[in-house]
């Protein structure tokens, strides 16, 4: 890293996080008794994690101009696999760069809805090819040269940031666009220092949302790569970036293999990880996510296969999961002890764990739970008029009365299975945290009250009670859900609303990182 950039980057990091206690200087009580990991949100144009130094990787899908004005950013292909209508799709090359010629103009956006919450300063845009490139959202052009543009952005004025492309040369179209955030043009890192700083306390990173496991084609030749225009497409984030992030942070990766992945995808994914991940890292491998949950594509697949073949759904899951695990073991060979084969189960239904784990016939190393505590109108004495304090009280009762006892039940099952197999079976969580959501299956709650819960001092206490409680019940790794992102009526899960949120205002994040230095992470 060039010395001048290193000094400026460190100064920028200090200024950006001013007023927030630095992670390395937290005054914390004694260490938590269990390692802490985190789930990462999908890359989207409205994600507040500020993942990459290149904003283009976080941009929206390309869309055609309409009546000379840029459309609002289209919804991304999400975890449910839905795409924008075919008539709106912009023709792209293999790496996702537009192939639109004549007088048509295409545009993309980034930092959508993040006014005042993304870095201000000099943005440097570079590209290859010939055509017209316009940067939108700046307050002034500082310099302009062939295939290079420097724009001043203040983060508040100037409108929605984005790009517009037109008049492209068919023989040499615009491509390989980079939108370098302030101070990052010469960075030797892919990830923004603010993102790394806030993610550093976590020992395991679960990439289920990054991998877009329900939307991806799950075919290796079609996957996202380092050369893809965007890392928020339906193919998810390039596996190389996941490995790079874990190498950078010395964290262990947790990969969720799509249920539709063929053997070639599984094998080549495992080969990439074996050959590029640091050799002291564990590798958690899970077959899809919540395969028992028919609200998701993998659960529907298992149900449909069960009906077609006349076999219990969890035995269908076990059959394919065992094949996936066998491929990872084969690829890693003498290093297969680094692989942690995860069986994802349902907290409130131990029968799922019993069937799935026995059907795996010993081909698993850990049982994983989703340990959420929450308030529901159909179960608790709460409703749309309940206060935040009333919702918290109901959620904490749910933690004590249901979540912790069911966790202990799964510890007992893991011990029984371990005795039968003659080896230890770990109990971990794949997700966990609060689930106080206005639009929940259990009936409506007041939106503002559910949002207010997230910053209550009692939330910090509840998270500590959850972490320490599941550890006492026998959990050996706690994976929180999820890292950074906006909250609303259907989603209150993030532990940070935005990447530079003061830690004092983030009780969930503060509870997770408490004592992190002494956990050996």
- pLDDT tens for each residue of 419-465: 999 999 999 999 999 999 998 776 689 999 999 999 999 999 999 99
pLDDT for position 169 = 96
pLDDT for 70 beyond 90 = no
For residue range 255-271, what is the model confidence (pLDDT) as tens digits?
Answer: 999 999 999 999 999 99
Residue 124: phi and psi, rounded to 5, are: -110, 125
What residue segments make up the domains of the chain, in order of their start?
55-180
pLDDT for position 306 = 96
Residue 314: phi and psi, rounded to 5, are: -70, -25
Average pLDDT of 476-499?
96
pLDDT for position 68 = 46
For residues 83-107, b (16+ Cβ closer than 10 Å) or e, as one string? Answer: beeeeeebebeeebbbebeeeebbb
Dist CA 63 CA 61 (whole Å) = 6
Dist CA 206 CA 192 (whole Å) = 19
Percent of the chain with pLDDT over 90: 84
Average pLDDT of 399-411?
98
Cα dihedral 190, 194, 199, 200 in deg (nearest 10): 90
pLDDT tier, 516 (very low <50, low <70, confident <90, very high otherwise): confident
Residue with tokens 């440097």, as numbered in its chain? 124
Average pLDDT of 129-157?
95
pLDDT for 496 beyond 70 = yes
pLDDT for 30 beyond 70 = no
Of the candidates 256, 313, 322, 263, the residue with the CA atom closest to the CA atom of residue 287: 256
Average pLDDT of 30-37?
72
Average pLDDT of 355-377?
97
pLDDT for position 151 = 97
Residues 6+ apart with CB under 8 A from 150: 122, 123, 124, 125, 141, 142, 143, 144
Dump strand ranges (E) for 365-504.
366-374, 426-435, 439-440, 443-444, 478-480
Dist CA 78 CA 496 (whole Å) = 21
Which tokens is 339 given?
């692989």
Q: State the pairing for strand pair 252-257/204-206.
A: parallel
Of the candidates 15, 431, 4, the residue with the CA atom closest to the CA atom of residue 197: 15
Dist CA 267 CA 478 (whole Å) = 28
Residue 65: phi and psi, rounded to 5, are: -65, 150
The mean-pLDDT minimum among 122-126, 155-159, 257-261, 324-328 falls in 155-159
pLDDT for position 75 = 44
For residue range 151-204, what is the model confidence (pLDDT) as tens digits?
Answer: 999 989 888 999 999 999 999 999 999 999 999 999 999 999 999 999 999 999
The mean-pLDDT minimum among 46-55, 80-89, 325-334 falls in 80-89
pLDDT for 83 beyond 70 = no
Residue 89: phi and psi, rounded to 5, are: -75, 130
pTM of the model: 0.90
């Amino acid at each position: 890293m060039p010395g001048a950039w290193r000094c400026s980057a460190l100064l920028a990091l200090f200024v950006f996080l001013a007023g927030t206690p630095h992670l390395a200087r937290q005054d914390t009580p004694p260490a938590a008794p269990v390692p802490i990991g985190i789930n990462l949100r999908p890359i989207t144009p409205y994600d507040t994690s500020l993942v990459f130094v290149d904003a283009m990787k976080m941009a929206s899908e390309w869309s055609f101009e309409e009546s000379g004005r840029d459309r609002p950013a289209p919804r991304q292909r999400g975890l449910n696999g839905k795409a924008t209508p075919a008539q709106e799709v912009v023709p792209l090359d293999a790496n996702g760069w537009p192939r639109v010629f004549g007088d048509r103009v295409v545009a993309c956006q980034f930092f959508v809805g993040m006014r005042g919450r993304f870095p201000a300063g000099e943005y440097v845009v570079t590209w290859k090819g010939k055509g017209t490139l316009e940067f939108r959202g700046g307050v002034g052009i500082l310099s302009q040269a062939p295939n290079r543009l420097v724009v001043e952005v203040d983060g508040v004025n100037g409108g929605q940031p984005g790009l517009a492309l037109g008049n492209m040369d068919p023989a040499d179209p615009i491509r390989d666009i980079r939108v370098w955030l302030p101070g990052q043009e010469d960075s030797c890192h892919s990830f923004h220092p603010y993102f790394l700083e806030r993610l550093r306390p976590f020992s395991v990173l679960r990439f289920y949302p990054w991998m877009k496991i329900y939307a991806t084609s799950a075919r290796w030749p079609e996957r996202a790569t380092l050369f893809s225009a965007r890392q928020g497409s339906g193919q998810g984030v390039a596996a190389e970036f996941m490995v790079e992030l874990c190498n950078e942070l010395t964290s262990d990766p947790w990969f969720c293999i799509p249920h539709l992945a063929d053997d070639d995808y599984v094998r080549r994914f495992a080969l990439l990880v074996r050959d590029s991940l640091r050799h002291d890292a564990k590798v958690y491998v899970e077959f899809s996510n919540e395969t028992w949950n028919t609200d998701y594509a993998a659960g529907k697949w298992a149900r449909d296969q069960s009906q077609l073949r006349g076999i219990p759904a969890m035995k269908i899951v076990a059959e394919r999961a065992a094949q996936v695990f066998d491929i990872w073991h084969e690829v890693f060979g003498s290093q297969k002890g680094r692989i942690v084969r995860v069986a994802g189960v349902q907290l409130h239904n131990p029968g799922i764990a019993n069937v799935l784990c026995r059907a795996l016939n010993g081909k698993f190393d850990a049982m994983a739970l989703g340990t959420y505590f929450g308030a529901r109108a159909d179960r608790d004495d709460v409703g749309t008029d309940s206060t935040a304090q009333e919702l918290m009280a109901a959620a904490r009762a749910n933690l004590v009365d249901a979540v912790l006892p069911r966790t202990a039940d799964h510890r007992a099952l893991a011990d029984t299975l371990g005795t039968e197999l003659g080896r230890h079976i770990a109990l971990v969580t794949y997700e966990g945290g609060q689930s106080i959501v206005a639009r929940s299956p259990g009936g409506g709650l007041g939106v503002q009250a559910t949002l207010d819960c997230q910053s209550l001092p009692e939330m910090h206490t509840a998270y500590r009670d959850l972490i320490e409680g599941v550890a006492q019940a026998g959990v050996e790794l706690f994976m929180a859900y999820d890292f950074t992102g906006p909250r609303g009526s259907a989603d209150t899960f993030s532990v940070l609303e935005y990447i530079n949120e003061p830690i004092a205002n983030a009780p969930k994040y503060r509870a997770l990182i408490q004592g992190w230095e002494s956990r050996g992470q």
